Structure 1
Amino acid sequence: MEIVWFLLIGLVAGWLAGQLVRGGGFGVIGDIVVGILGALIGGVVFGALGLSDNGSLLGSIIVATVGAILLIVLLRVIKRA
């Protein structure tokens, strides 16, 4: 059941990041991939800052969304270079 929550959080985070950065989503699969990668990046960044999501659903979505936004911005910078 945890994998289902992980995928749903990835979907929501990827969609939110797409809305905030790009103005649109990346499709269901794209949103899930961006959200999952964002969750990994967000976990590392928040961990390095000493912050935690306390295991809450909203905290996990926030961490994953911030990580997904960082991923999208980083990919845009690399693409322009």
Structure 2
Amino acid sequence: MAIDEMEGSMEGIVALIINLAVGAVGGNIAGYLLKGKSLGTLWNSVVGILGGGIGYFVLGFLGIGAGAGIVGGVIAALIGGAVLLFLVSLIKKT
């Protein structure tokens, strides 16, 4: 593997880790903002991480997050974390 390939791969891994962490924060922020929909800190974080990963890949695939660099990826993770938390809280209520 060439050095350039490894650097690009590491940047992608670092971006993904940052976005998953931001998704966890986004899940907790969404849990706070969506009164009555919080799943507790741990589960808000778990759902936020999953949603952040999904949001990062889906919005990147659509060209929304990828073009804006790390900031776009962070926004995608926040949106994905919040949306998934909202959906899980709706399912949990039924």
The normalised TM-score by structure 1 is 0.60
Structure 2: gaps of 5 or more residues: 1-13
Map 1:1-81 to 2 at 5 A: 2=14, 5-6=18-19, 8-22=21-35, 26-27=40-41, 29-53=42-66, 54-56=68-70, 58-81=71-94
Residue-pair matches, total: 79
CA RMSD of aligned residues (A): 3.2
1:11/1:35 contact within 8 Å kept: yes
Alignment TM-score, normalising by the size of structure 2: 0.54
Structure 1's unaligned 5+ residue stretches are none
